Amino acid sequence: MNSNTTQDGPLARLVGRAEALYRDHDLGTVRAWKERTGGLAVGYMPIYVPCELFHAQGVLPVGILGGGDDLEIIRGDAYYQSYICHIPRSTIELGLTGRLDCLDGMLFPAICDVIRNLSGMWKLKFPDKLSRYLDVPQNFDVSVGGAFYRKELEDLSADLTARGARPYDADALRASIETYNGIRRRVYGLYDLRRDQPWKVPTSELYLVLRAGLVLPVEEFAAMLDDYRAAVEGDASRTPMDQARVVVTGSFCEQPPIGLLRTLERSGCYIVDDDLIQVHRWIRHDISTEGDPLEALVTAFLDDAIASPTRYVSDDSKGLELVDRIRDARAEGVLFCAPSFCDPALLDQPLAVAAVEDAGVPWTAFKYAENTGQFHVIREQAGTFADSIKLWGGDA
């Protein structure tokens, strides 16, 4: 066996560090960064936020994705109804128990009514912290949605400065855009490698590395991505197996527990595309570093963003982007894997299913919560689905 894959090899150590960061709800790395630099740290729900702007003003953007399956919800359940998704309850629990005290504020991007409500709850419970709802345009005309979004960015920048961040500087933002362009290239490169050689890049590993990037300074994250790619490419012990190639979709906000991803892989599935941790690849290509950098951020959001249930797409084209992804990934099936009570994902799912069926692609569906701990039923369902693909292919 290659030394990288032994318990104390470099790959194992890297993935182990990523998992430790995934489970560090006290944000020890963020606290250490603040002590070292004296800078501000602002949390955000990681679907899309303009991390480039934070970085340019000396602020550490910190992705907050609830408490996962490690956190017992005691106080958070009192703030939200039982018929909504789990992530707002665990997020408010993290705040109320002091685990997020090192954050100087929270940014809540436009996802759904629940997250909008969470932004208001944050203002009530933590009045001394910055709390902003980042309202993004659903009209993509540059003179309408573009003007609106530019004003949002300018207001966000002013709020950060008022809290003690560096003032806005165009040259600094251009440099930060280039830094994050490098992150996108690395992440998309790993997605391409996983698509071509999924046995080299298990999704459960890649997911942990991407989660680590939510709390690390961007320069450290870039180094981790480079180290991870070098380690998996150099690991000759990872060889192909006869597994079904699937796309996992529906998990763009509340994330599945790591045990669920491992279960899907053990059931006989190679996950060759997904919509996990979208913030690292919300923009498809490099953002321009020429001209006005704020305008470049606006243009990228309007014209070069991925499809998402949180972003307006006309009903007659919903699901078509998913079909394109299936074809590009050479996937043999789709797992619709959405959090319970997630309105954006579950309301879009029937239209996406129709598009997948029209394309002749097999699919199955199940739901989860971020604190799901038992996966036996899901493993049986996914395993049966994978077996049917391998036995009957498109006739499954």
- Give the Cα separation of 32 and 387 in Å (integer): 47
Classify residue 77 by burial, with Cβ atoms within 10 Å: 0-12, 13-18, 19+. middle
pLDDT digits (tens, 9 = 90+) for 375-394: 999 999 999 999 999 888 75
Please report which confidence band the pLDDT of residue 165 belongs to, taking 50, 70 and 90 as the band edges: very high
Please report which confidence band the pLDDT of residue 339 belongs to, taking 50, 70 and 90 as the band edges: very high
The percentage of residues in the chain with a pLDDT greater than 90, rounded to a whole number, is: 88
The percentage of residues in the chain with a pLDDT greater than 70, rounded to a whole number, is: 97
The pLDDT of residue 46 is 84
In this predicted structure, the answer to whether residue 148 has a pLDDT above a threshold of 50 is yes
Instruction: Evaluate whether 157 touches 317 at the Cβ level (below 8 Å).
Output: no
Please report which confidence band the pLDDT of residue 67 belongs to, taking 50, 70 and 90 as the band edges: very high
Averaged pLDDT, 127-152: 96
The pLDDT of residue 394 is 52
Range of lowest pLDDT (333-342, 353-362, 371-380)? 371-380
- Who's near 56: CB < 8 A, 6+ residues apart? 166, 168, 169, 172, 173, 175, 176
In this predicted structure, the answer to whether residue 109 has a pLDDT above a threshold of 90 is yes
In this predicted structure, the answer to whether residue 287 has a pLDDT above a threshold of 70 is yes
Bridge-partner residues for 42, per DSSP? 61, 105
DSSP state of 395: G
- Who's near 128: CB < 8 A, 6+ residues apart? none
Instruction: Evaluate whether 46 touches 27 at the Cβ level (below 8 Å).
Output: no
Burial annotation 304-341 (CB, 10 A radius, 16+ → b, else e): ebebbbbbebeeeebbbebbebbeebebbbbbbbbbeb
Stronger pLDDT, 158 or 81, i.e. the higher one? 158
Average pLDDT of the chain is: 94
pLDDT digits (tens, 9 = 90+) for 218-254: 999 999 999 999 999 999 999 999 999 999 999 999 9
pLDDT digits (tens, 9 = 90+) for 290-318: 999 999 999 999 999 999 999 988 877 88
Classify residue 141 by burial, with Cβ atoms within 10 Å: 0-12, 13-18, 19+. exposed
Please report which confidence band the pLDDT of residue 1 belongs to, taking 50, 70 and 90 as the band edges: very low
pLDDT digits (tens, 9 = 90+) for 10-29: 999 999 999 999 999 999 99
In this predicted structure, the answer to whether residue 354 has a pLDDT above a threshold of 80 is yes
The pLDDT of residue 313 is 85
